[in-house]
Structure 1
Amino acid sequence: MKTQLRQSLILLLTAAIWGTSFVAQSVGMDYVGPFTFNSIRSLLGGLCLIPAIFLLDRLKYKNESVKPEYNKKRTLTGGVCCGIVLCLASNLQQIGMTHTTVGKAGFITACYIVLVPVLGIFLRKKAGLKVWASVALAVGGLYLLCITDGLSIQPGDLYVMGCSLLFAVHILVIDHFSEGTDGVRMSCVQFLVSGILSAIPMLLFEDPTFSAVCVAWMPILYAGLLSCGVGYTLQIIGQKNMNPTVASLILSLESVVAVLAGWILLGQALTLRETCGCILMLAAIVLAQLPGRKPEKA
């Protein structure tokens, strides 16, 4: 029980870090462009994971003669593929956050949890009634969150929806490469790839200056070191020997933390209509992660 409680607290801390990082992303946009923010953030996250790799290896393999076994080529390939998708997803999210609130961005992004089983249909993975009920709840929540009285959608919400879809693809790519790879090493590669790719449009479309980056140092460091590096490492540690359903339910609180952080730190209060949309989407997220009924024994 003590171990389960400790693991749950670690995952709760992870959700809090990821949820509050939406505030850092929003504040950082006051000083630098979206591609600049994501490039520096991702590179910091990748560099932060390098010492974490050595630390986790020493904790897992106390005997120095025993080396971790993993497929290096598959780990590198998986990291590159994940980095490409992550680059597209994170930049769409960052651009969208310039036109929407932190709370709405957090909840719309969390829709990837519902989209993952839906996209799995194209990979010949069956989706049950529970999944379609989650989709219906999510669509209703998105309508209340994003669609105004004139049946129009804000550009920022549309960008974040695209980001949510790409994050769902990102999870499926991770699932494809997970077997035989080292998770932390693959994550390190994906962050470095995402940072390098984000630097290309940064140099083409933005005019980053050293002074602007220095002014935005706090949100960039928070999003890079804590959200990318520390957050992912805590997720790996927290999910060890943990029920995956319980773990995913705790991590889904990220969207709730994003709303509370945007309200407390930035004063971005939600209307009653938007609050109802958040409740529906949270219900969809929880329902999508509940375990299905086990088949009865013959």
Structure 2
Amino acid sequence: MPTTRRTDAVLLVVAVVWGSSYLTAKTATDTLPVLMVLFLRYAVAAVVCVAALRRSGAPTRDEKAYGCLLGLTQAAVLVLETYGVARTSAGNAGLIISLTLVLTPVMDRVGRRDGLPGRFFLAAGVCLAGVALLVSGNGLRAPGTGDLLMLAAAVVRAGHVVLVGRVTAGRALRPFPLTAVQTVVGTVLFLVPVVPGLPVLARTGAATWAQLLYLALCCGLFAFLAQTWAVQRTSATRASLLLGTEPVWALLVGVGLGGERLTALAVSGATLIVAGTYWGQAVERAHRAAPPHMASEGVPQGAR
């Protein structure tokens, strides 16, 4: 029991840290250009990773190859996320990106025979209705640029998650060296466009540097390694429920610390997104656990 509580606590901390990353990134981009924030976020993490590799051992050929591939897709996710959060509220960003949880199973089954049951798509529809209400502000309107970028980020992030699963399946790839390669790839990608602006770092205040360190070390390295440690000690279902609270923390941090305001429509939208996400996760898990003949019919185990 103490071990279970400790594991749950670690997963909850990861969810809180990830939820707080949206306000942190938004505040950092108020001071520095988006690409500079991304470069420094990657560079700090890369320095720590490369230094730590002396103990864990250098990446293998496969870890280098697949790390480069995943580094490109991860960089694409962070570009869209960071530009998006710079143009919308932290609460909106955290809630919209949670659509990844319902988009990932859809993408993962592209080209497969076992389609998802209709109830899953009803849950996805609830999420989309929630997004429409969330971005409506004081009245129904078209989503803003930041909201659309976060929607795009959710799609690309889902594709990245599916790619990670397929790349690592059946291969002896170690998480830390794989992460180290991805941080180096991201650093190299963002170095060239930020070189002309590097002198601005001499005038960057301590608060912004603290935000950058938090994004790189806490929201990046710590969260990834802690998640890996915890998931190995609990069930996937329990882990997904705890990590699924990320959008709730993003909203609470945005409102409580960022001074963001929520209208009645936005609150309704946030509620629908969280409810639809949990419903979709539950339907997908039940479908995955069903015997093959029942899964092919779209009927979860125990439904009849």
Instruction: Name the stretch that deviates more: 168-177 or 209-218.
Output: 209-218
Instruction: From the superposition, tell whether residues 209 and 159 of structure 1 become closer, same or farther in structure 2 (CA, over 3 Å).
Output: same
Verify: 1:133 aligned to 2:127, yes or no: no
Q: Give the paired residue count.
A: 284
Amino acid at match of 1:81: L
Instruction: From the superposition, tell whether residues 5 and 34 of structure 1 become closer, same or farther in structure 2 (CA, over 3 Å).
Output: same
Partner of 1:45: 45
Cα distance in structure 1, aligned partners of 2:46 and 2:119: 37
Instruction: From the superposition, tell whether residues 150 and 256 of structure 1 become closer, same or farther in structure 2 (CA, over 3 Å).
Output: closer
Paired residues of 1:24 and 1:219 also in contact (CA < 8 A):
yes
Paired residues of 1:52 and 1:233 also in contact (CA < 8 A):
no
- Cα distance, 1:199 vs. partner? 2.4
- Cα distance, 1:122 vs. partner? 2.0
Amino acid at match of 1:7: T
Verify: 1:108 aligned to 2:87, yes or no: no
Query: How do residues 211-290 of structure 1 correspond to structure 2 at under 5 angstroms?
Result: 211-215=202-206, 216-290=208-282
Cα distance in structure 2, aligned partners of 1:54 and 1:283: 45
Instruction: From the superposition, tell whether residues 278 and 208 of structure 1 become closer, same or farther in structure 2 (CA, over 3 Å).
Output: farther
Structure 2 SS opposite 1:266: coil
Cα distance in structure 1, aligned partners of 2:117 and 2:52: 39
Amino acid at match of 1:138: C
Cα distance in structure 1, aligned partners of 2:265 and 2:88: 15
Paired residues of 2:59 and 2:177 also in contact (CA < 8 A):
no
Query: How do residues 8-157 of structure 1 correspond to structure 2 at under 5 angstroms?
Result: 8-50=8-50, 72-124=60-112, 126-147=115-136, 149=139, 151-157=141-147
Unaligned segments of structure 2, at least 5 residues: 292-300
Structure 1 SS opposite 2:132: helix
Verify: 1:170 aligned to 2:160, yes or no: yes
Cα distance in structure 2, aligned partners of 1:183 and 1:277: 36
- Cα distance, 1:54 vs. partner? 6.7
Unaligned segments of structure 1, at least 5 residues: 58-67
Partner of 2:201: 210
- Cα distance, 1:176 vs. partner? 1.3
